[in-house]
A = this chain, B = another copy of it.
Amino acid sequence: MDKKLLGIDLGGTTVKFAILTEAGEVQQKWSIETNILDDGSHIVPDIIESINHHLSLYGMKPEQFIGIGMGTPGSVDIEAGTVIGAYNLNWTTLQQVKSEIEKGTNIKFTIDNDANVAALGERWKGAGENEPDVIFMTLGTGVGGGIVMNGQLLHGIAGCAGEVGHVTVDPNGFECTCGKRGCLETVASATGVVRVARQLAEEYAGGSKLKACLDNGEDITSKDVFELAEDEGDDLALMVVDKVTFYLGLACGNLGNTLNPSTIVIGGGVSAAGEFLRSRIEKYFKEFTFPQVRESTKIKLAELGNEAGVIGAASLAK
């Protein structure tokens, strides 16, 4: 009988689980709440209990699994299978995730950070079309990413490979939480888009609903900015989208010039702006890449949404 993969996407509010065939077909899905109380000490036991419960529910045995893969926030030691500094889980001290889950389930366990795992998912079953060289960029509260080259995730010497949110796109730009200036994240995360809107609004004199909202002290989201730009052709909102996509195109362009992947996949909440966003990133991407890269590296929207995490996590176990 074909063996299965078990993928886990550990997040600050829910833990998602999926059982997949080796070919990547999702056969079962479920999720539980993430209980972050007591320094997150319930999380791993809850995961173990949930796995064992569902295996018994489905009449499955540990021997039927090739392995479990998990994506997690925080800093991951992929060799040791430990996690530290996942603040949305209240994991401030070193967590022995791999050894506990292997002991509790009798299934081999592999772990990586959530952005890397989402990159694996989009590469395997999403916009990456299972090509060997795919970069994933997620535009959400922050900007993160993962890089797959020659079919393998890149980690780098300290596990920071793929941290595309901290690429410097403007040496004189906004200060970033990381301590340096002009990171992509400061202008292309959900809060970054609003930051750019506030900056441009200060100098903007014409008529604009976005300008009026900001001047009235209303809470504006990046979604509002993209909707005003796309649906109402708001002049200021269009300028904001232009500036944000200029920086995204510059960052994607330099990823292309350096790594020449088949695809750079754009995901995360901000990417809900869809083709309106993608086409504008692509315009600047083409401006900032040399001909061979311009013609071979594609800019695509993510296709798996929330499922990228569990699918990519499952692929870790292969």
Binding site for B on A (CB under 8 A): 131, 133, 147, 149-150, 152, 154-164, 166-168, 171, 176, 178-180, 183, 246, 250, 253-255, 257-262, 287-293, 295-297
- Chain B CB count within 10 A is highest, among A158, A159, A176, A255, for A158
Report the nearest B residue to A287, measured CB to CB. Answer: B180
Chain B residues positioned under 8 Å from A161 (CB to CB): 133, 149, 258-260
Contact of A297 with B157 in the complex, beta carbons under 8 Å: yes
Contact of A257 with B163 in the complex, beta carbons under 8 Å: yes
Task: Using known A-B contacts A254-B254, A257-B166, A259-B147, determine if residue A158 contacts B292 with beta carbons closer than 8 Å.
Answer: yes
Report the nearest B residue to A296, measured CB to CB. Answer: B158
Q: Output the least CB separation between A177 and chain B (Å).
A: 9
A295 to B154, CA, bound (A): 18
Contact of A179 with B261 in the complex, beta carbons under 8 Å: no
A157 to B263, CA, bound (A): 9
Chain B residues positioned under 8 Å from A155 (CB to CB): 150, 260
Contact of B131 with A167 in the complex, beta carbons under 8 Å: no
A133 to B296, CA, bound (A): 25
Contact of A156 with B133 in the complex, beta carbons under 8 Å: yes
Contact of B290 with A180 in the complex, beta carbons under 8 Å: yes
Q: Output the least CB separation between A109 and chain B (Å).
A: 21
- Chain B CB count within 10 A is highest, among A152, A164, A259, for A259
The listed residue (B150, B168, B261) touching A257 by CB distance below 8 A is B168
Q: Please state the number of chain copies in the assembly.
A: 2
Chain B residues positioned under 8 Å from A152 (CB to CB): 150, 152
Report the nearest B residue to A134, measured CB to CB. Answer: B157
Chain B residues positioned under 8 Å from A292 (CB to CB): 158-160
Report the nearest B residue to A185, measured CB to CB. Answer: B290
A167 to B260, CA, bound (A): 12
Contact of B296 with A260 in the complex, beta carbons under 8 Å: no
Contact of A168 with B291 in the complex, beta carbons under 8 Å: no
Contact of A158 with B260 in the complex, beta carbons under 8 Å: yes
Chain B residues positioned under 8 Å from A287 (CB to CB): 180
Report the nearest B residue to A149, measured CB to CB. Answer: B154
Task: Using known A-B contacts A149-B161, A168-B253, A250-B171, determine if residue A156 contacts B289 with beta carbons closer than 8 Å.
Answer: no
Chain B residues positioned under 8 Å from A260 (CB to CB): 155-161, 163
Chain B residues positioned under 8 Å from A250 (CB to CB): 168, 171
Contact of B296 with A160 in the complex, beta carbons under 8 Å: yes
Chain B residues positioned under 8 Å from A291 (CB to CB): 178-179
The listed residue (B179, B262, B289, B290) touching A290 by CB distance below 8 A is B179
Report the nearest B residue to A178, measured CB to CB. Answer: B290
A188 to B135, CA, bound (A): 27
Contact of B258 with A255 in the complex, beta carbons under 8 Å: yes
Chain B residues positioned under 8 Å from A293 (CB to CB): 156, 158, 160, 163, 166
